[in-house]
Structure 1
Amino acid sequence: MVREGLKGVLAALPDIEVVGEACDGREAIELARRVEMDVLLMDLAMPKKGGLDALGSLRAQCPRLSVLIVSGFPEERFALALFRLGAAGFIAKDATLEEMVGAIRAVGSGKPFWGPSVTSMLASQLPKHAPAQLHDALTSREFQIFLRLGRGETVGAVGRSLGLSHKTVSTHRTRLMRKLALASNSDLTYYAIKNGLLE
């Protein structure tokens, strides 16, 4: 219903053409491969392949595509991970239609679209500064694996989903556990829930 409503509004604008839609992350990746587009609006919480996983794949396979994240999560919660994965911007689901269209137009013209608080936070995250939260120190791949493990996926399942070997996922797990000062998977899940990172 949300997609249909937004599609109707965008299709009525003279400078925007809707070229397709997808119901999950896998479909979004396939659509981006097949259809030429300038901007892809994508939610973080999607079935089959979440927004963070899909974003990593899209940046690798369609590097010129601008991806605008639309989410109900607070922008600051995933800002660093989204920025590192190459998102062009972020717009909240409760934004007005005018704000949504403005964000699409900005990203479509090559301008990043981030809120003032995130812009300030990103500017402060220079190498000489310590990360604001422990998980901000994770690489984009570590963060992807961290979220999957936090949701209860096994190392094997994570590897199959991301196309990585069991050993590679285990290595990333060891590193991220060290960075987060965690000892077990239950600690990892608790950390993710406590910090509001699970979709």
Structure 2
Amino acid sequence: MIRIGIVDDHAIVRTGLKQFLSDQVDLRVTGEAGNGKEALDLVRQGEVDVLIMDLSMPDQSGVDALAAIKAREPDLPVLILSGFPEAHYATTLLKQGASGYLNKECDPEDIITAIQTVHRGRKYITPAVAELLADTLGGDANKQPHEELSDREFQVFLRLAKGETVGNIADSMSLSVKTVSTYRTRVMEKMKLASNSDLTYYALKNGLIQ
């Protein structure tokens, strides 16, 4: 029996997914969460073998939540089920510790296969994501600027793009203001952008925020 935790800020999505998974003899939903903090609480309880998580959440992004979860439970498989297309986040999140990435438009049976795959300790890679990963191995020619960022820089970039201040980011990520300011400078240099407004425009244009 594989114990599943579902993290999504929409109750209707959690209910639908729970109903679908309950029809599978080897799967059981043992916990739900509506935001990143609740997701971490769910992980702390230790009742979950695989976590299915959305990226869009009210208190923090799925990117931040993934980092916090993997810091606490590095061996827990986290399967991202997102409304964002694979091209926007998949390769970045796989590099940051996600065990698989599925778009919410996927065939429901793919979710079952993905859960079983990541529970065995393997990565679940769709053909679309495999192609993206192959492109990154082929060289840096087609890399997007945000793909050059480190994990921490990417987290700071998303928060800045959403309009958070350096002070708020420092508090949320338990970092000093000076450290966050350093990350901001690196982000600007790597992405060749000049202002927070530029970051927001870039993130919206590339579908990284809604």
- TM-score under structure 2 normalisation? 0.89
1:137 to 145, 148, 163: 148
How far apart in 1 are the matches of 2:189 and 2:142? 15
**Mapped pair 1:116 → 2:130:** no
Which has the higher mean CA deviation after the structures are superposed, 151-160 or 97-106? 97-106
Q: Name the structure 2 match of 1:151.
A: 162
CA RMSD, 1 decimal: 1.5
Deviations 1:43-80 (A, max 9, x none): 00011122110000111100110000001110111122
CA positional deviation for 1:12: 2.8
1:118 Cα deviation from its structure 2 partner = 1.7
Unaligned 5+ segments in structure 1 are none
Partner of 1:192: 203
5 Å-filtered alignment, 1:70-85, equals 70-85=81-96
SS of residue paired to 2:102: strand
CA separation of 1:30 and 1:52: change in aligned 2, threshold 3 A: same
Q: 1:97 to 1:120 in 2, by over 3 A?
A: closer
- Whether 2:107 is the aligned partner of 1:96: answer yes
Alignment-derived partner of residue 45 in structure 1:
56
* CA displacement, residues 4-43 of structure 1 (integer Å, 9 cap, x when unaligned): 1211221232111211110111100110011232210000
Correspondence for 2:97 among 67, 86, 105:
86
* % identical aligned pairs: 51
| 1:89-115 CA-partner distances (Å, limit 9, x unpaired) | 011112232121111111112221122
Structure 2 segments unaligned to the other structure (5+ residues): 1-11
1:168 counterpart letter in structure 2: T
Q: Is the 8 A contact 1:19 1:35 kept in 2?
A: no
Letter in 1 for 2:123: P
**Once the two structures are superposed, what CA deviation does each residue of 1:131-176 show, in whole Å capped at 9, x if it has no partner?**
5111110011101100000010000011111111101100000001
- Measured in 2, the distance between the counterparts of 1:140 and 1:20 equals 28
Equivalent residue letter for 1:118 = V
Q: Once superposed, which parts of structure 1, at least 4 consecutive aligned residues long, lie more than 3 Å away? A: 126-131
Q: Which has the higher strand share?
A: 2
TM-score (norm 1): 0.94
Using the TM superposition, name which of 115-124 and 140-149 deviates more.
115-124
CA contact (8 A) 1:39 1:104 kept: yes
Deviation at 1:189, TM superposition (A): 1.1
* Aligned position for 1:14: 25
Q: Structure 1: how far apart are the matches of 2:114 and 2:16?
A: 17
How many residue pairs were aligned? 199
Aligned position for 1:67? 78
